[in-house]
Amino acid sequence: MFQRDLIDVIHRRAAMSKLALGSTVLIAAAVLTPAVAQAYGATGTVTTCANSGCTTPFAVPLPVPATLQPTSSDATTDSYTVTEKPANIAAIPGKTTPMWTYNGTWPGPVIKAKSGKTVKLTVINNLTVPTTLHNHGAHVDPSSDGVPTDTVAPGASRVYTYPNGISARTDWFHDHTKDVTGRNVYMGLAGLYEIGDSQEAAMNLPSDNYDVPLILQDRKFNADGTLNYTTGTNDWRDGTLGDTMFVNGAATPFFKVEARKYRFRLLNGSNGRYYNLSLSNSQAMVQVANEAGFLSVPYSLSTLALAPAERADVIVDFSTVPVGTSVTLNNGSGWNSTGGQQMRFDVSARTSADISSVPVSGRSFTPLPASAVTARRTFAIQQSNGMWMFNGKGYDPNRIDADVKLGATEEWTFVNRSGQDHPIHMHDINFQVVSGGATSGPDSEWKETINVPSWKSLTVRVQFPDFTGKYVFHCHILEHEDNMLMGQFQVS
Ligand code: C2O
Ligand code: CU
């Protein structure tokens, strides 16, 4: 049976199970597990590692993902090649985990782009399943957006073109294949995509070895080391949650830092987990950018909430932490978050003077005026027959849910009629939260993914400046997205 057919069967089963009695739900879940396990060659039983209990915390160093080198470069364009391929990854001690990777590593390499300079990314699919690569955050023509149905067949390749006509920010690329994005990302298909610009360069932020991505993901494993990706009733409700926390592909690692300032590019790359991060010594993290780019001013935060797909660039200054001591990065409570330690910073002496600074201001922020709004739309989020839906409709690549005029400013209201939070992401553009969200702090400026809390409404104001064509918007809990919480807008 093809994976696509399998998923369709799963969807139908869920739809049926919701209509029938409770016992049917259990049968559906029991049927799912062996089928999915079989797809990955998994055997054995699931380990019971509550909060990394199966791994020793702080036993492995933090890996820093490699920066991908261009295959060619000229005045206007940098060209890169990424190969999607299986790899055996040392994720947990004494075991080998077969994963699907970009270039053989989990997470994939970092692509460092420059604002205004085109990147041509050739993706070679050496997996046995069709894939798409979505550059999350890209402002790009739909033909290079890697939307769910625009797949690259096994053995084929594809060139995606990103003009990078936006200011500096930390983006990421990940698989986006219809119905199986959750599985494909869980299997390892994610990497960081940084855009730099001259304004950022002038900020004198910590750079090079002191500018470090921290990609947060959680996984659970079978006893034989294979990933245990589950799509049972709980996973559809909460997203698939792991019991082992990873940073840059290492389980609860340690990182030797110098007593100086660091820039950390935090990405919540988890399928469904929310993070509420803090440092064990109660020190503030100074957030200078979110997933939509630089903020107008730095925000000093004692806790930092990250919904799936959200990013935060923070400056952490270890110069006041005694050399030889440690600080842990902890995850507190919140919806979908069981808490626990993410990683540990071990502070050592500076090897040179710290000449970096925390900027006093960043990118200027101008609210989109209410007077410019020409359309208002409402999208109610609800679970129906086991599927997640906007306005009672599941994702249909042949249906347009919003016809948008090029250049228009609109207000979109998401009405959450469920007991789960949903991080909503629109492709191609950024938006501003105008009601139902934060009125100060990093979430009150430009955003590109925003959490819509359970039983609450949230309105964003959004402008559609240039590209035309069909884009998707969806929940970024990947098991919600795969179970239909996705719509389409067409700009024309
Ligand atoms: Cu990060 Cu449409 O996705
Ligand atoms: Cu959701």
Q: How far apart are the C-alpha atoms of 125 and 182, rounded to whole Å?
A: 18
Ligand index nearest the alpha carbon of residue 485: 2
Spatial CA neighbour of 133 closest among 158, 112, 115, 110: 158
Spatial CA neighbour of 270 closest among 221, 222, 310, 234: 310
Ligand index nearest the alpha carbon of residue 190: 1
334 has a pLDDT exceeding 50: yes
Distance of CA 45 to the CA centre of its chain: 28
Pairing of strands 211-219, 77-89: unpaired
Cα–Cα distances (Å) from 7 to 36, 233, 385, in that order, read: 9, 14, 16
Between helix 3-19 and helix 22-39 the angle, nearest 10°, is: 170
Q: State the chain's mean pLDDT as an integer.
A: 90
Spatial CA neighbour of 210 closest among 285, 277, 260: 260
What are residue 384's DSSP bridge partners?
387
What are residue 169's DSSP bridge partners?
195
User: What mean pLDDT do residues 43-71 have?
Assistant: 75
Question: Tokens at residue 177, please?
Answer: 């294949």
Length of the chain: 492
The residue nearest atom 3 of ligand 1, judged by CA position, is: 136
Atom of ligand 1 nearest to the CA of 309: 1
In three-state secondary structure terms, 335 is coil
Rg of the chain in Å (alpha carbons) = 22
Buried b (16+ CB within 10 A) or exposed e, 148-187: bebbbeeeeebebebbbbbbbbbbbbbbbbbbbbbbbbbb
What's residue 54's pLDDT?
Answer: 65
In three-state secondary structure terms, 333 is coil
Q: How far apart are the C-alpha atoms of 274 and 392, rounded to whole Å?
A: 26
Between residues 22 and 67, which one has the greater pLDDT?
Answer: 67
Q: Render pLDDT for 186-197 as a digit per residue (tens, 0 to 9).
A: 999 999 999 999
Ligand index nearest the alpha carbon of residue 425: 1
For residue 9, how far is its CA from the centre of ligand 2 (angstroms)?
21
**For the whole model, what pTM was predicted?**
0.90
Question: Tokens at residue 205, please?
Answer: 């932020």
For residue 28, how far is its CA from the centre of ligand 1 (angstroms)?
28
Atom of ligand 1 nearest to the CA of 136: 1
Atom of ligand 1 nearest to the CA of 481: 2
In 42-125, at which residue ranges do the beta strands (DSSP E only) sit? 72-73, 77-89, 97-102, 111-114, 118-125
Question: CA torsion sign, 462 to 464 to 465 to 467?
Answer: positive
Compute how many other C-beta atoms are within 10 angstroms of the C-beta atom of residue 89: 20
User: What mean pLDDT do residues 328-351 have?
Assistant: 90
Spatial CA neighbour of 476 closest among 255, 109, 174, 209: 174
For residue 418, how far is its CA from the centre of ligand 1 (angstroms)?
21
**C-alpha torsion 476→480→485→489, nearest 10:** 20
Q: Render pLDDT for 81-137 as a digit per residue (tens, 0 to 9).
A: 999 999 999 999 888 999 999 999 999 999 999 999 999 999 999 999 999 999 999
Distance of CA 279 to the CA centre of its chain: 22
For residue 395, how far is its CA from the centre of ligand 1 (angstroms)?
14
For residue 480, how far is its CA from the centre of ligand 2 (angstroms)?
5
Amino acid residing at 189: L
User: What mean pLDDT do residues 158-168 have?
Assistant: 98
On whether the CB atoms of residues 212 and 64 are closer than 8 A, the answer is yes
What's residue 49's pLDDT?
Answer: 53
Tokens 């107008």 sit at which residue?
Answer: 296
The residue nearest atom 1 of ligand 1, judged by CA position, is: 136
On whether the CB atoms of residues 421 and 336 are closer than 8 A, the answer is yes
On whether the CB atoms of residues 236 and 479 are closer than 8 A, the answer is yes
Spatial CA neighbour of 190 closest among 104, 296, 106, 314: 106
Atom of ligand 1 nearest to the CA of 137: 1
What's residue 126's pLDDT?
Answer: 98
Q: How confident is the model at residue 384 (pLDDT cuts 50, 70, 90)?
A: confident
Which residues, 6 or more positions from 366, have their beta carbon under 8 angstroms from its beta carbon? Answer: none
In three-state secondary structure terms, 320 is helix
Ligand index nearest the alpha carbon of residue 274: 2
What's residue 94's pLDDT?
Answer: 86
Amino acid residing at 390: F
Atom of ligand 1 nearest to the CA of 449: 1
Ligand index nearest the alpha carbon of residue 388: 2
For residue 426, how far is its CA from the centre of ligand 2 (angstroms)?
13
Which ranges in 265-341 belong to alpha helices (H)?
none
What's residue 281's pLDDT?
Answer: 97
Question: Could you tell me the end-to-end alpha-carbon distance of the chain, in angstroms, rounded to an integer?
Answer: 39
For residue 141, how far is its CA from the centre of ligand 1 (angstroms)?
15
Share of the chain above pLDDT 90, in %: 84
Spatial CA neighbour of 109 closest among 173, 69, 66: 66
Q: How confident is the model at residue 36 (pLDDT cuts 50, 70, 90)?
A: very low
302 CB-contact burial (10 Å; exposed 0-12 / middle 13-18 / buried 19+) = exposed
352 has a pLDDT exceeding 60: yes
Q: How far apart are the C-alpha atoms of 107 and 245, rounded to whole Å?
A: 14
What's residue 13's pLDDT?
Answer: 34
47 has a pLDDT exceeding 60: no
304 has a pLDDT exceeding 80: yes
Q: How confident is the model at residue 6 (pLDDT cuts 50, 70, 90)?
A: very low
What's residue 341's pLDDT?
Answer: 92
For residue 133, how far is its CA from the centre of ligand 2 (angstroms)?
21
Atom of ligand 1 nearest to the CA of 486: 2
Tokens 């989020």 sit at which residue?
Answer: 381
- Enumerate residues lining ligand 1, CB below 6 A: 134, 136, 174, 176, 309, 425, 427, 472, 474, 476
Q: How far apart are the C-alpha atoms of 145 and 428, rounded to whole Å?
A: 8
For residue 261, how far is its CA from the centre of ligand 2 (angstroms)?
36
Q: Render pLDDT for 271-284 as a digit per residue (tens, 0 to 9).
A: 999 999 999 999 99
Q: How far apart are the C-alpha atoms of 422 and 236, rounded to whole Å?
A: 12
Q: How far apart are the C-alpha atoms of 287 and 300, rounded to whole Å?
A: 6
